[in-house]
Amino acid sequence: MWLPDHNLIVIRSGMRAIHDRSTLAHELAHAHLGHRDDRPKHEVMADRTAAEWMIDYDECIHVMRWCPDAHRLATELGVSTRLLRTFLNVHRLAS
């Protein structure tokens, strides 16, 4: 979670590395965007920003050619399926 009054991000321990990285990118996006609360539109904006930071478009297109499903594609790209789905929707790559 992003705690703007303390300029602090707190990440739950025990998550897989992909989720650590994706969550950290999401929370950093909140900080970067100046969010001070967790309104639904802020969550969407943070997911979009984090996805753009973490996923290279050309690499995604390349891996999609041989990767059979979203879970494996997310793993190959090193992101959570949530951020992957956000990226695919924004770039209209979702089928």
User: What is the pLDDT confidence band of residue 95, given thresholds at 50, 70 and 90?
Assistant: low
Q: What is the pLDDT of residue 66?
A: 95
Confidence check: pLDDT of 4 > 70 = yes
DSSP-H helix ranges across 1-92? 17-33, 40-54, 57-64, 70-77, 81-90
Taking the CA atoms of the chain, what radius of gyration do you get in angstroms? 14
Which pLDDT tens digit goes with each residue over 43-67? 999 999 999 999 999 999 999 999 9
* Domain locations along the chain: 2-90
Confidence check: pLDDT of 72 > 80 = yes
